A and B are shown apart, each in its own frame.
Chain A
């Protein structure tokens, strides 16, 4: 790694001020993504601010409306094993357990998980290959290159990368809120507004500005969360990023779907909510497979696969179907 200096953040305001003042400063918590990016020379911060000792950010607690509040420094393992999370929103626990390995989950923070960068191989290859996300204006090597793992929704000619987080997909299905500290105060950002599509500025993964620090997540109470499942399809059975993944939650009246929540990973630059399918699923009987498939297809009319990932549109719909069936079996 390049030489850098490291100091311990004293409080949130000082950390936010340091971030806003100097673009060479980056925060480090678990470090499981940042260390790899530094070793590969994708990012080379001059100074790291260690936020692990900031108080009050390592917690899981119920909120007054029956939801859950999770601190940004809470480790993935602690959230995955928490009985409240496992019972109130099993899709969140499952999404975490299907991520990385136990060693990495013991290190990685929830805030850092949301901030991890894409696994597009061109982004992490600094040997001169163009990448607009790493080096704005240089071009996109994946647009007509090796793009089997890339997006089928919402991409632009400037970037076809996908977001790698699993838990962000489950959090999107449940309309979680990201709490962000800045010198101006604390903002509550719905996760649907937190991530962005690449457009002409794919170097920005989300809407955070310099000096913004994620302090926590709020998961509102949702009936669909209690009966939910995270399905991850990948090239090997374990310890791999998703080809496609589905977070599915259902509120049922007997076998009839009262309401559905669906989000996908591995298909877009951000967790992809299947809003049209959710609406079409209302009132459908879980055992009516033809109507289930038809409802799911509503969210795929705007799919735009690339040269090498045409299979994803079909795989994704089958994955949603299977996830719904699994949730139905749990009913």
Chain B
């Protein structure tokens, strides 16, 4: 027993749990699912062309993680509520769990793996490290992808729900801590690292 490592333990108990779930949840008359249709699509991911064959129901998130092997993008709630799966499509931040890979054929996708310049971290990544903008790290790639987009949006003059007067142009120097909190509210952090995340983004905003 002493030699059972964590991974083996998880695998064994995981199988046990899965079996128990199947037995208790088996419907009286399970109807066979129709065969899933597969489609081949081309996506540009972090500047590299990828050709993948996915079921029509495959989310972009699952395609990135399971087909392309980029597991930096995380699956939190898988319901569009937590923001962990945030990536950029054609320059805009979106939730990869709420869109289908087949609908994104031909688009250009940036994930957390694509924002550093070689070994040099993106300024937002560096700010998160410098300000302890994470604890467990599960939400971090989503937080960073959101923050990178947030700075771009603020520069482009997008207002937010924290903006006093939406009728006036928004200028980048209005990007207060309250503005950053509002603009990041779609990214939840279960460790509640919010103060450090806001600090990190505020510093990246000043230095970027």
A residues touching B (Cβ–Cβ < 8 Å)? 1-6, 28, 31-32, 35-36, 39-40, 48, 50, 52, 77, 80-81, 83, 86-87, 90, 93-94, 97-98, 100-104, 106-107, 237-239, 330
Contact = CB atoms under 8 A, between A and B. Distances in A.
Contacts of B159: 80-81, 86, 93, 97
Nearest to A50: B103
B50 to A, nearest CB: 19
A106 B93 contact: yes
Contacts of B103: 6, 28, 31, 50, 52
Interface in B160-208: 160-161, 163, 165-167, 169, 181-183, 185-187
A247 to B, nearest CB: 14
Interface residues of B, number: 46
B36 interface: yes
Nearest to B97: A35
The interface residues of chain B, by DSSP majority, are classed as loop
B63 interface: no
A39 B78 CA distance: 9
Of all A-B residue pairs in the complex, the 5 with the closest CB atoms, nearest first, are A101-B186, A238-B185, A239-B185, A3-B36, A6-B56
Nearest to B186: A101
A3 B34 CA distance: 7
Contact of B57 (A1, A50, A101, A107): A1
Contacts of A98: 161
A81 B167 CA distance: 10
Contacts of A52: 103
Given A32-B98, A103-B83, A103-B86, A97 B166 contact: yes
A3 B37 CA distance: 8
B189 to A, nearest CB: 13
B56 A4 contact: yes
Interface string B87-100: 00000111101111
A22 to B, nearest CB: 15
Contacts of A1: 57
